[in-house]
Chains A and B, each alone.
Chain A
Amino acid sequence: MSYTSINFLFFVLATVLVYFLLPFKKYRWVVLLAASVTFYLLAGYQFAGFILFTTASTYLLARWLDKISVRSKAELKAHKADWSRDDKKTYKNKIKVRKRLVMALCLVLNFGILAFLKYYNFFSGSLNDILGGFGVAFSAPTLKLILPLGISFYTFQTMGYIVDVYREKTAPEKNPLKLLLFVSFFPQIIQGPISIYDQLAQQLYEGHDFDFTRFKHGCELILWGLFKKLVVADRAVIAITAVTDNYNAQGGTTLTFTILLYALQLYADFSGGIDISRGVAQIFGIDMIDNFKRPYFSKSINEYWRRWHISLGAWLKNYLFYPVAMSNLFITASKKMKGTKFGSTAAGAHIAKVLPTSVASLIVFLVVGVWHGADWKYVAFGLWNGLIIMISILLEPIFKSVNEKLHIKPTNVPFMIFQMLRTFVVVLVGYVFDVAPSFSQAMRTFGLFFTNQSLSTGWSQIANLGLGKKDYIVILAGALIILIASLIQENAKDGLNIREKLDKKPFILRYAVLFAGVLAIVIFGIYGSGYNAADFVYMQF
């Protein structure tokens, strides 16, 4: 069931009614659980085993971790007087190792399933290529694997939970059904956001009263999401698909246009979907984290990744970046570098200082790349972003000194616009890896950007991508509306979002805006089986 289907709207409506009409507030979470399970089963009951396994294994292992913690604390308390400091340290280390093993078991099991389903064919294909290159007659079989709905999202979310339990930041959930709700909450199962247990779980479990303002804001957010998704993203994707279906035939101008269109489509699609998810959750009284904060206004690639897919970035920061950057290996390497002759120079001291951060960033972005898909082009995508961040961290003092010498203040508006454009270009380069069918095609595309620009060819190709002039006008108008909304949000000094600002406007204006929004979606949205004029022309019967 797609988030943009009529069935989904009816599904949400029914769940909202049952949720708020249930007289026992304490058990309202059961309604959410039933809806989430139903939603998941409707999407593909044959995959339910995977999400149940993840929930069950995480539940049991989290409880085990807790048991170890509780027992060890009791043990330490019992031997407070008779154990020496060393005894206690040895015991604590032993417990730490045991807990790590339990956590590792959970991570290996669940990431193992994800990795197998998502990457097995990629690795077997790559292995066959490598071995074939060496003349080895071995062929790893290719399997027909289908990814269960939302597996990347719920696996990351659940593994975050187990790490938090391991770190004793979170108490393990005692009710397995409640944990199942956290794992499968239907508004976020398809595309996130990847929530943190402490931020989301309690909101799910406590029964909320109906709040008209929340309901209204939730509906408005859904409407905004639908506008971005159906009017802009799903229209733009028609042209993008036409290009990717016939990639080799496209010239440099068409590909340049496609990458720009892709930047708009990806943002409208992803943020639109998240808005729908957040809007639905908001109706139930649940605040999910905002996954996007106007990323194309970022002044550096680092900032961009703090504004784009925020929940993934936060997850990676918490559960990958810090563990890597703060690991003994990196800290020791940094210290060792500081102790060298090079480390005593200004540049060396800086490099030694930022080495753990920059290398950890590179590793994180390699993971981001692989997370996006099983293909070398995604590895390149991750590497590109990681390298840019790594270089920007390493060269930060040079940039600062150049700016000082040129008397450029960070608040200088033209400079900020330059920074935004520069960051946008860096982002677009990364998108080339996304759009191109393969790594080699991406490389070819970069070449075409500089060697194959022709307005006339581009114009004729763009006109034949399945969209008419009126469609492009709608896309442009949609992009402008998104831009204006983003500018208002970005420059909001009162801290209010647009919906809150709208609340302060007269009733007629408020409802006129909503009315226009719904009609815009009804008229300009891409939905239904589609109308093909040719099917309805009988040539003068």
Chain B
Amino acid sequence: MKKKLYVTRAIKLLSFGLLLVLAILFLQQYPLSNFDDNDNRLRMDGYYLEDKNSLDVVLLGSSEMYSGVIPAKLYEDFGITSYPYATSSGTAGAMVTQMKEIQRTQNPQLIVIEINAFLYGTANETKESSLRGYIDNVPMSANKFDYIQTVIEPDDRVEYFFPIIKYHGVWTDYPKPWDRCLTMMHQEMRGYTYLRGFKTNANVFKPTDKPVNATLPGDSKTLALDKRYEPKLREFLQYLKDEKIDNVLFMRMPHLVTKQTYNRFKRGNEAGRIIQEAGFDFINLERDEEMMSLPAEYYYNLDHLNINGAEKLTEKVGNILTRNYNVQKAKLTDKQAAEWQESVDFYHDYYAYVTDRMAKNIKPKGMRETDAVIKEVRDFAAKNK
């Protein structure tokens, strides 16, 4: 009799505990998660939704990557599948972990690495929002666990392992995050993203400071990297060597360089020197005449190309990948090919919608792949067919 009572109680308690844990995990995963303004989460979720070993190229880096290279266009024009494994203000210290995650999840022909994370003159490395931009938005893995143990102070770690402790107060922002929360779930149910991590801002930039881009292709001046970042770069290069990872290409994406950001340009040259010295390829598109001749109209702000600029850059990158690095067309299953074709079709509508907004000078807007934007794009396409 007593035994039966104990068993019943144990079952009830375990069921209750299990349900509670599941409910809390659900809250942590969706409605009470980190809703940063760049939707790093949607992009990173999208990366992990890609079929294993289905990407030809992974684009590692920061915002320059996900706003500069258009995977759908790269697929349409060159037959290459790609995805940006990138978060806004990505940190240099996360690069090794990110490389491990790419190796764990994909087997790309080439990994293109944007060097922005090594060029900071400020404390981006320890900035909570930059750290969380990556940590909060990727699923738990042994790599993520090690990374948290390495970069986060012991007293703060629990909030990184259980981010609900940090973000449970997000409910006060509702209903604003509903769109993103539902997008996460819809994206996951669909199993792939339309834009494959690409995001732009429907804006034509009007700089207040005159860019000096025209003078840069011939400018080889260097400036030492910040002492917080040079060791990180060398450590990363050493990791690649130790692990014999040679399918990498370092790149510096184009920016509008002004007097204020000229030092960063020089640090880019210095980083390139260190990278090449270590035996890796480096292509500096800030020294590329074609890219640096693009006027401000091709940017949505100083650091990021708009959709027209991204089209140009994608074409450039596609040519480099296929001609210089012999990246071959993807071998996809019918299902994968159909999904990528859907991406291409969606991108066309997206491009038309974004450029229409820019032409009509409508208030600048971040065009992330949320349910609301997907609907706007589809409505626009239906109206104009």
A-to-B contact residues, CB < 8 Å: 6, 212, 468, 470-471, 507, 511, 514-515, 518-519, 522-531, 533, 535-541
Contacts and interface: CB of A to CB of B under 8 A. Distances in A.
Given A514-B16, A523-B32, A540-B301, A528 B166 contact: yes
A38 to B, nearest CB: 19
Contacts of B129: 535-536, 538
Given A515-B23, A522-B27, A523-B32, A536 B37 contact: yes
Contacts of A519: 20, 23-24, 27
Contact of A530 (B24, B27, B169, B303): B169
Contacts of A525: 168
Interface in B143-195: 156, 158-159, 164-173
Interface string B27-64: 10000101111100000000000000000000000010
A200 B190 CA distance: 61
21 contacts: A470-B172, A507-B12, A514-B16, A518-B20, A525-B168, A526-B169, A527-B165, A527-B168, A528-B165, A529-B156, A529-B165, A529-B166, A533-B173, A536-B132, A537-B37, A538-B89, A538-B129, A540-B364, A540-B366, A541-B88, A541-B303
Contact of B19 (A515, A527, A531, A541): A515
Given A6-B158, A523-B168, A531-B170, A541 B12 contact: no
A126 B284 CA distance: 72
B128 interface: yes
Contact of B171 (A6, A523, A528, A539): A523
Contacts of B38: 538, 541
Nearest to A533: B173
Contacts of A6: 158, 165
A8 to B, nearest CB: 13
A255 B344 CA distance: 61
Nearest to A530: B169
A515 B37 contact: no
B310 to A, nearest CB: 14
A6 B88 CA distance: 31
A511 B37 contact: no
Q: Which 4 A-B pairs have the closest CB atoms?
A: A528-B165, A536-B36, A537-B37, A541-B63
Contacts of A533: 173
B9 interface: yes
A541 B89 contact: yes
Nearest to B165: A528
B168 A522 contact: yes
Contacts of B300: 540
Contact of B9 (A212, A470, A514, A530): A212
Given A212-B9, A528-B165, A540-B301, A515 B132 contact: no
A484 B71 CA distance: 58
Contact of A538 (B23, B36, B158, B203): B36
Contacts of B67: 541
A527 B38 CA distance: 26
B168 A538 contact: no
A529 B162 CA distance: 12
Interface residues of B, number: 42
B168 A540 contact: no
Given A522-B168, A530-B169, 16 more contacts: A6-B165, A511-B12, A511-B16, A515-B20, A515-B23, A522-B24, A522-B164, A523-B32, A528-B168, A529-B159, A531-B168, A531-B169, A538-B37, A538-B88, A541-B37, A541-B67
Given A515-B23, A522-B24, A523-B171, A539 B159 contact: no
A536 B36 CA distance: 5
Nearest to B66: A541
Contact of B201 (A522, A527, A540): A540
Interface string B60-79: 00010001000000000000
Contacts of A526: 169
A515 B36 contact: no
B37 A524 contact: no
B266 interface: no
A541 B304 contact: yes
A538 B20 CA distance: 34
Interface of B: 9, 12, 16, 19-20, 23-24, 27, 32, 34-38, 63, 67, 88-89, 128-129, 132, 156, 158-159, 164-173, 201, 203, 300-301, 303-304, 364, 366
A528 B16 contact: no
A515 to B, nearest CB: 6
Contacts of A527: 165, 168
A212 B166 CA distance: 33
Contact of A537 (B36, B128, B303): B36
B41 to A, nearest CB: 11
Contacts of A541: 37-38, 63, 67, 88-89, 303-304
Contacts of A523: 27, 32, 168, 171
B345 to A, nearest CB: 27
B172 A471 contact: yes
A16 to B, nearest CB: 14
Contacts of B34: 536
A50 to B, nearest CB: 26
Contact of A524 (B20, B165, B171): B171
A515 B16 contact: yes
A529 B173 CA distance: 17
Contacts of B364: 540
A505 B219 CA distance: 79
A390 to B, nearest CB: 47
A470 B170 CA distance: 11
A523 B23 CA distance: 11
Contacts of B303: 541
The listed residue with most B CB atoms (<10 A of its CB), out of A470, A526, A528, is A528
B167 A531 contact: yes
A536 B364 CA distance: 19
B202 to A, nearest CB: 10
Contact of B166 (A515, A531, A540): A531
A531 B35 CA distance: 11
Contacts of B19: 515
Nearest to B173: A533
Contact of B37 (A514, A528, A531, A539): A539
A39 to B, nearest CB: 18
Contacts of A531: 166-170
Contacts of B201: 540
A315 to B, nearest CB: 37
A95 B366 CA distance: 88
A535 B159 contact: no
A401 B69 CA distance: 90
A430 B169 CA distance: 34
Contacts of A535: 128-129
B43 to A, nearest CB: 12
A535 B158 CA distance: 19
A124 to B, nearest CB: 37
A6 B166 CA distance: 13
A316 B156 CA distance: 43
A538 B37 CA distance: 7
Contact of A468 (B158, B166, B172): B172
Contacts of B9: 212
Contacts of A212: 9
Contacts of A522: 24, 27, 164, 168
A131 to B, nearest CB: 46
The listed residue with most A CB atoms (<10 A of its CB), out of B132, B166, B201, is B166
A525 to B, nearest CB: 7
B363 to A, nearest CB: 11
B354 to A, nearest CB: 14
A531 B156 CA distance: 14
B4 to A, nearest CB: 14
A539 B9 CA distance: 53
B119 to A, nearest CB: 15
B158 to A, nearest CB: 7
A536 B167 CA distance: 11
B23 to A, nearest CB: 6
